[in-house]
Amino acid sequence: MAKVVDSTPDDRFLILTNASGGQLTEHRASEGVRQWRDKVGLSPEKIGYDLRLYDARGTAATRLLRAGLSLSQIAGCMGWSLRTAAAMIERYAQVSPNESDDVLTLLNTAKRGKS
């Protein structure tokens, strides 16, 4: 995607287009993801849950969080307000057991430093 963005002329508004070169609608993008998902064998019936275009938000938020970005940085990157970013992180970001352990370690270290 970075190559597509970098090679797009500055005066071009649309980057991803439909087959006719027009604006790619939300519905058509979602339909395209559904078609490719099913084509590669990741249908809800096979994997037990539904993969949707909107799930990409959760993946992005989780990856940014794991990369160490602050809530403010994630909000800026995703084009969200701080309130929206907090809600999205809470809803979408999956915290692994290792991350929970890291949080406890940081809290214990901070507690010892204040004693």
Q: With H, G, I as helix, E, B as strand and everything else as coil, classify residue 47.
A: helix
Domain ranges within the chain, ordered by starting residue:
2-114
Q: What is the pLDDT of residues 4-20, one digit of tens each?
A: 788 888 887 777 788 88
Per mean pLDDT, which of 8-12, 32-36, 105-109 is the most reliable?
32-36
DSSP reduced 3-state for 94: coil
Q: What is the pTM of this model?
A: 0.54
Contact 63, 98 (CB under 8 A): no
Tokens of 5: 């963005």
End-to-end C-alpha distance for the chain, whole angstroms: 49
Q: Of 86, 35, 31, 32, nearest to 61 (Cα)?
A: 86
Q: Report the chain's mean pLDDT, rounded to a whole number.
A: 82
Alpha-carbon torsion, ordered 90, 93, 99, 105, to 10 deg: -30
Read off the pLDDT of residues 46-85 as tens digits, 9 standing for 90 and up.
888 888 888 788 788 888 888 888 889 989 988 999 888 8
